[in-house]
Structure 1
């Protein structure tokens, strides 16, 4: 399903113009005042996504099934919110909030009464996205949430510099092994990290097998770009996991803060027992947040 461009919501600040689609409450563009586009354009030859919100799960599940109280429910990779149309419940010049409530269709996959609010807010060159999940039912509700923004690679403002001159600079050193991705998008064994101290030199071959998954990163923020050129700062203070992904040769890099991740290849347990899953009591709400700051140098 493609976004209807006629329904796009536009947000603006002195530094950025942002468009959002009601389909998935997904960002469609992030443009600076010089006309530079920082977000992937969804070219279907590579990947039609741009910045989907992952709910109520992150990644793939064993057998494509989520298990709640001993019963199995079909659940697509990254959940269903990105394929659903949200209601626009608030719009300001610099901010908008979109809402999705449970219905008969959602309960076929996720048997809970929920409210999902996604708010995008501009403050100068910073775009904050807050995902608020509320348990509207009478039973505990486990949930995973993830962000999946596809940033241009190479970034605007880097001129003729190659993709290989881009790096990620983490806020802390990252010596821990990463997780590999195996058949079906599940997590396999650990592997040595390609990160050198706090820096990851980027190259397409890093993603030959699939995403790089940091299931226990030390950092809660990073910078992506070419040193001494305008780049992107990504802050994810309350998101304990991180994925990095592209299709080799594509013009984007996805920087993905997560609360939850794909099933381990041997996992057959309850959804609530997955690492990173948050269980909300009846009436409880929880916020998941990420902020992107554009045009900042390191």
Structure 2
């Protein structure tokens, strides 16, 4: 990797991956968090400037896995796969939004992964969801296997969830890649969002169950303010941001039928978030998959960084 390997949390398990002029760094000891994604030495991840503070607060940063649920739940009680779960309202094992609602599952600093395989351009790590802390939030024993691999086209992340406890496991995870373009004002970033179904949200950003057609967007980000949920119209889509000679694309490849677009006004980042289910799926049951006992659910997405042609 060009220069020193970023490792602000002094994680002894930090792994640097390279493929040509593309470089990435992951921290298995801290949630398999992706903390760097560079091309030609230029950093394209955001929210990574103060990871020590983020680790203390559990704030999302870089490329975090959102598990066992992505985005928000409408309350502290959910019923899924034959179990009723009541979540704590004040716990360091969870993260909460500005309204006090459960958000993004267990913070990444509490998730320690074990390296299974590593090579110059690929890392495979495992998380056994079986401890008392894990099961107090999500009482469904399972094993996660994450594969991060680089090639000339970009970074691909595949996540496999296997139900290990003799009971079905509800699947509602996602990722939150914070992306940004170098040396260009956020207002001048050009975004491509394909046609999808736009999910109606209540004032707490919880899907109401209604949706309407969204014809897509191909325009400068400007002063737009996004925190919007979408349902794909097909199996795969690509969302992208371009400017300053670069284009960063997020391809939803397999079993991510939902996406969240997050681009808060006044911040120099955006996120195209792949999701296996819509927000609040554990509570609403809408769009919720189940991994049957002994079965495995797999999902994959890719981040591509290339010239804006």
Please tell me the TM-score bracket, short chain as reference. Answer: 0.7 to 0.9
**Aligned partner (choices 248, 263, 286) of residue 297 of structure 2:** 286
- Whether the 8 Å CA contact 1:13–1:125 is kept in 2: the answer is no
Q: What is the alpha-carbon root mean square deviation over aligned residues?
A: 2.8
SS at match of 1:63: coil
Report the alpha carbon displacement of residue 128 of structure 1 after superposing the two structures with TM.
0.2
CA drift of 1:25 comes to: 0.5
1:189–1:260 distance in 2 versus 1, CA, 3 Å: closer
| Distance across 2 between alignment mates of 1:124 and 1:197 | 28
Q: Which runs of 5+ in 1 are unaligned?
A: 265-270
Normalised to the residue count of structure 2, the TM-score between the two structures is: 0.79
Structure 1 residue 36 corresponds to structure 2 residue 42: yes
Aligned residues: 277
In structure 2, what is the equivalent of residue 144 of structure 1? Answer: 172
- Find out whether 1:173 has 2:199 as its counterpart: no
Instruction: Tell me whether 54-63 or 69-78 shows the greater mean CA deviation.
Output: 69-78
Match of 1:214 among 223, 230, 233: 230
Deviation at 1:225, TM superposition (A): 1.0
Rate the CA distance shift 1:197–1:109 in 2: closer, same or farther, 3 A: closer
Per the alignment, residue 263 of structure 1 pairs with 280
- Tell me, in whole angstroms, the C-alpha distance in 2 between the residues paired with 1:288 and 1:59: 17
Contact 2:225–2:264 (Cα < 8 Å) also in 1: no
Number of the residue aligned with 1:72:
85
Q: What is the CA distance between 1:5 and its match in structure 2?
A: 3.1
- Using a 3 Å threshold, how does the CA distance of structure 1 residues 86 and 204 change in structure 2: closer, same or farther? farther
Please tell me whether residue 229 in structure 1 is matched to residue 245 in structure 2: yes
List per-residue Cα deviations over 1:148-177 (Å, max 9, x = no partner). Answer: 10001xx12xx4x4322222224x434x44
5 Å-filtered alignment, 1:128-207, equals: 128-152=156-180, 155-156=181-182, 159=183, 161-170=184-193, 172-174=194-196, 176-180=197-201, 182-183=203-204, 185-188=205-208, 197-207=216-226
Q: Which runs of 5+ in 2 are unaligned?
A: 1-6, 88-93, 95-101
Q: TM-score, normalised by structure 1?
A: 0.82
1:228-269 Cα shifts (integer Å, max 9, x gaps): 8211121112211111113322221011011112228xxxxx
Q: Distance in 2 between matches of 1:134 and 1:70?
A: 18
Query: 2:286 & 2:208 partners in 1: Cα distance?
Result: 14
Q: CA deviation at 1:273?
A: 5.8
Give, in whole Å, the separation in 1 of the partners of 2:83 and 2:24. 43
| Alpha-carbon distance between aligned partners in 1 of 2:262 and 2:286, rounded to the nearest angstrom | 20
Cα drift, residue 190 of structure 1 = 5.6
Relative to 1, partners in 2 of residues 1:123 and 1:296: Cα closer, same or farther, differing over 3 Å? same
